[in-house]
Structure 1
Amino acid sequence: MARATGKSEAVYERLKQDIESLRLRPGAKLSEIQLGEELGASRTPVREAIRSLAREGLVDFVPGEVARVAAISLGGVHSLFEFRMLLEPEAASQVAALGQARESVREPFVRLLTRLDGFERSFRARDEAQQAQSFQDFYALTEIFDQELIAACRNAYLARTIRDLRSQTVRLRHLSHSGPQRMLISLDEHRAMVEAIVNGDGPAASAACRHHLAQTLQALIDSLTGQYAEFGAEVHLDALG
């Protein structure tokens, strides 16, 4: 039984990575038999992994069909970011205020600020081909920011809700950073958030976070609209309501 649980976790992590990185595209069928053959697993751990991903909103079950990677809709993206704008600016404000009293809260953001500056210098010194290979390094830095924000947030319910949305936001990240220019803009937005937290300025941290989310939402709308032909019917250009 323990081995099955471990295998299910391994299958889950692999499928989640493939969905978040868009290696498994929106609408892709998830056949238990085919996935089991590809991953060297029986149907039971594959089924358990798919059910876990469905609970996170990354997989849809269509009656009479196999499971599919969840489609992306502009309306859904808009709703997700409306919700994030209610949560994450408040978390940033709380962490900035807490950092004024606790150096242990502030210190990880001081280190991150140094790393963001170093990344930008390195990125600008690279040629276009090298820059294209640097996106994962930037994603790693933004992941550090997100995880530090969650860890330092004093409201456990707020932190848990933000963490639970991570699977959805990570998948969309690869669409919002559609090129070097947007990535550099996002870097500046992250720097503004980190600087506000380091300075203990709650209102500035909240405003910088809200600005970043608004800009990311617009980048996603532009990217999804531009890539509609590539994604086909699994990107729904529905009304933003």
Structure 2
Amino acid sequence: MTRATGKSEAVYERLKGDIESLRLRPGARLSEVQLGEELGASRTPVREAIRRLAREGLVDFVPGEVARVAAISLGGVRALFEFRMLLEPEAVASVAGAGAADGRVLLPFGELLERLGEFDESFRALDAAAQARSYQEFYDIAEGFDRAVIAACRNPYLARTIGDLRSQTVRLRHLSHSGPRRMLTSLEEHRAMLKAITQGDAQAAEAACRHHLAQTLQALIDSLTGHDLAIGANVQVDVVR
């Protein structure tokens, strides 16, 4: 594999961030020429970045057309969460078990639990407009939790596989939190996972993770089928069950 240049890495990070945050919508065309002009890069680093994103499942190549941001389909979301259900509960359980044997493993999770409590208190005091602007802080905490689980997981294959799915899960996070109510529910689900891990309770951590994934999947189904978000025709809704 060719080592990424500094420019291609910068283009890759920019495009990946725009796709994950939905600033680049599902189905959006990715023209190498146009992106190069917008990002101040030649076509080569843009092409390299698009190919990396395609390998991660964030970009599709349509025959006879330019690349497009990968669609989000209900069938694809279900398949992803079925896979996550096999992986992530096992990972958080193993982390809780490791923490019961070595308290140092639990330090980042205790810090995240404290941050979550502080955010919860401040968030509830905001009006609706200010709450909408503060979502990113919660996303940062959730991101920190995911990364801490991957770092503390004792099975390197399990950790690597979960890490490889992160681009997909981060993009869907913006769809699953379609309003303050769901965001607060997700906050409580993360609190339950963090508490179980910090208490070294592997069984409770596994159960809390399964519950969180099931609730997140349902929120995504509601968003995709009920059009809770203004996501337009670029999101492919596949309602075959």
Deviations 1:216-238 (A, max 9, x none): 00000101112289444432322
Contact kept in structure 1, 2:193 and 2:205, CA below 8 Å:
yes
Partner Cα separation in structure 2 for residue 232 and residue 85 of structure 1: 29
Equivalent residue, structure 2, for 1:192: 192
Partner Cα separation in structure 2 for residue 194 and residue 4 of structure 1: 36
TM-score, L = length of structure 2: 0.96
SS class of match (2:5): helix
Partner Cα separation in structure 2 for residue 138 and residue 229 of structure 1: 19
Partner Cα separation in structure 1 for residue 229 and residue 120 of structure 2: 33
Unmatched 5+ stretches in structure 2? none
Deviations 1:90-118 (A, max 9, x none): 00000000001111111111111111111
How many Å apart are 1:42 and its aligned residue? 0.3
Equivalent residue, structure 2, for 1:71: 71
Equivalent residue, structure 2, for 1:113: 113
Equivalent residue, structure 2, for 1:155: 155
TM-score, L = length of structure 1: 0.96
Contact kept in structure 2, 1:71 and 1:235, CA below 8 Å:
yes
Partner Cα separation in structure 2 for residue 183 and residue 231 of structure 1: 18
Unmatched 5+ stretches in structure 1? none
Partner Cα separation in structure 2 for residue 94 and residue 66 of structure 1: 43
Partner Cα separation in structure 1 for residue 9 and residue 229 of structure 2: 34
CA RMSD, 1 decimal: 1.6
Partner Cα separation in structure 1 for residue 15 and residue 236 of structure 2: 23
Partner Cα separation in structure 1 for residue 217 and residue 53 of structure 2: 23
How many Å apart are 1:86 and its aligned residue? 0.3
Q: Which amino acid aligns with 2:134?
A: S
Partner Cα separation in structure 1 for residue 90 and residue 239 of structure 2: 28
Deviations 1:58-80 (A, max 9, x none): 00001100000000100000000
Equivalent residue, structure 1, for 2:102: 102
Deviations 1:105-162 (A, max 9, x none): 1111111111111110001111112111110000000001000000000000000000
Deviations 1:12-44 (A, max 9, x none): 000000000100000000000000000000000
1:45 equivalent to 2:61? Answer: no
Query: Could you tell me the percent identity over the aligned residues?
Result: 75
SS class of match (1:72): coil
Equivalent residue, structure 1, for 2:211: 211
- Counterparts of residues 215-234 of structure 1 (less than 5 Å): 215-227=215-227, 230-234=230-234
How many Å apart are 1:87 and its aligned residue? 0.2
SS class of match (2:126): coil
How many Å apart are 1:239 and its aligned residue? 3.7
Number of residues of Structure 1 aligned to a counterpart in Structure 2: 240
